[in-house]
């Protein structure tokens, strides 16, 4: 009997092939995707790259055309999309749109084997209501909001926070791994959203803190890049300072370099802070900095900056157009 020596490069190729095969749970799945915005379009693209068959819907024709060019099938009715999908992922702006979308999508019934995954940021209460509605119709629903921003969506390095049963978590994990690098089971329905709201409240607070510190440093005569390097090698280091710095010229891919266009809008962070405030009120939990952050971003929105990335708070501080 002879032994065959396998080269390291061949072993690596086999390993990568095995990983791709495992990531699709035995083959290509039919996946519906509703909501092709800054995050959703990139997430859907990564599912196509992983070999899945995409069925997509968005009110934006250009967004749909962009995915169609990559091989997705575009639908004009979400109910038809859902009927043709093993999994349906929704990535939508707010409670009202999510609720309306699920009403329309499930109006004609659902396939009992379909799993609906909502990756929007909505209230835990709505998650529980949707879970009951979908379950009563015979299918399954989980919440799986994400963190990592547009860069994470582009690079398939998102963190997914999943609320559902152990079996449901295991059923969706491989699909979510096509879009993210950390898939965490947070507990029962709504716990994914609970984690996301707390995370986004901390994100808003840290962005304001980084903006305030950067502006103060520059006003004292410090070079912005030098101070950013100090922060990012010291105790002040955080995602807002290192990956998404609000000062133009610090992080090449940050919205600050594009006049704060794209990214995560001030309107959306304001919405998330409002949801966090509601949860805090219902649980009698004090959030003094969260409440202040909500007031600050609400002020930015009333100034017409709701469509700008939430790091625009630095620009307003710099221009002394900041008020609470």
How many other CB atoms are there within 10 angstroms of residue 237's CB atom?
A: 14
Same domain membership, residue 158 and residue 125: yes
| Residue 21 to residues 9, 27, 34, 254, Cα–Cα distance (Å) | 18, 7, 25, 34
pLDDT tens digits, 165-216: 999 999 999 999 999 999 999 999 999 999 999 999 999 999 999 999 999 9
- Same domain for 109 and 82, yes or no, is yes
Do 183 and 233 lie in a common domain? no
Q: Read off the CATH number of the domain in which 146 is found.
A: 3.40.50.720
What secondary structure letter does DSSP report for 19? H
Q: Is residue 38 part of a domain?
A: yes
* pTM of the full structure: 0.85
What is the band of 323 on the pLDDT scale with cuts at 50, 70, 90?
Answer: low
Joined together, the tokens standing for residue 170 give 């295991």
Residues 160 and 184 in one domain: yes
79 and 168 together in one domain: yes
What is the rounded average pLDDT of the residues 281-293?
Answer: 97
Tally of structural domains, the chain: 2
Which range marks the domain in which residue 286 is found? Answer: 194-319
Q: Which residues contact 53 (CB under 8 A, 6 or more apart)?
A: 28, 29, 30, 31, 73
In a domain, 13, yes or no: no
Annotated active-site residue 173? The verdict is no
Domain co-membership, 182 together with 37: yes
Name the residue among 71, 155, 79 with its Cα closest to residue 114.
Answer: 79
107 is a domain residue? yes
**What digits encode the pLDDT tens for the residues 150-163?**
999 999 999 999 99
Per DSSP, 320 falls in state: T
Gap between the Cα atoms of 189 and 179, Å rounded: 21
Determine which one of 196, 271, 319, 321 is catalytic. 196
- Helix, strand or coil for residue 92? coil
Let me know if residue 279 belongs to a domain.
yes
Which residues sit opposite 34 in a β-bridge? 57, 90
Are 290 and 214 in the same domain?
yes
For position 230, what pLDDT does the model report?
98
């Amino acid at each position: 009997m002879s032994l065959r020596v396998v080269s390291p490069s061949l072993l690596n190729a086999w390993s990568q092939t095995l990983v791709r095969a495992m990531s699709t749970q035995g083959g290509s799945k039919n996946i519906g995707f509703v909501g092709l915005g800054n995050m959703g379009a990139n997430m859907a693209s990564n599912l196509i790259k992983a070999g899945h068959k995409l069925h997509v819907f968005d009110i934006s024709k250009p967004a749909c055309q962009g995915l169609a060019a990559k091989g997705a099938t575009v639908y004009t009715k979400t109910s038809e999309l859902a009927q043709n999908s093993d999994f349906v992922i929704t990535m939508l702006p707010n409670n009202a749109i999510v609720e309306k979308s699920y009403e329309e999508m499930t109006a004609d019934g659902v396939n009992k084997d379909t799993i609906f995954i909502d990756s929007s940021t909505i209230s835990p209460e709505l998650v529980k209501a949707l879970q009951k509605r979908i379950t009563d119709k015979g299918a399954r629903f989980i919440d799986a909001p994400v963190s990592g921003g547009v860069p994470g969506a582009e690079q398939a390095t998102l963190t997914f926070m999943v609320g559902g049963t152990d079996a449901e978590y295991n059923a969706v994990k491989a699909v979510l791994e096509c879009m993210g690098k950390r898939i965490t089971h947070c507990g029962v329905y709504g716990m994914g959203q609970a984690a996301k709201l707390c995370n986004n409240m901390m994100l808003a607070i840290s962005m304001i803190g980084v903006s305030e510190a950067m502006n103060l440093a520059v006003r004292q005569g410090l070079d912005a890049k030098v101070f950013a390097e100090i922060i990012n090698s010291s105790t002040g280091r955080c995602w807002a300072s290192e990956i998404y710095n609000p000062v133009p010229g610090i992080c090449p891919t940050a919205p600050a370099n594009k006049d704060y266009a794209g990214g995560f809008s001030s309107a959306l962070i304001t919405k998330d802070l409002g949801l966090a405030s509601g949860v805090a009120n219902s649980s009698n939990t004090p959030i003094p900095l969260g409440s202040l952050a909500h007031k600050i971003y609400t002020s930015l929105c009333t100034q017409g900056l709701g469509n700008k990335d939430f790091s625009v708070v630095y620009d307003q501080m710099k221009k002394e157009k900041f008020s609470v």
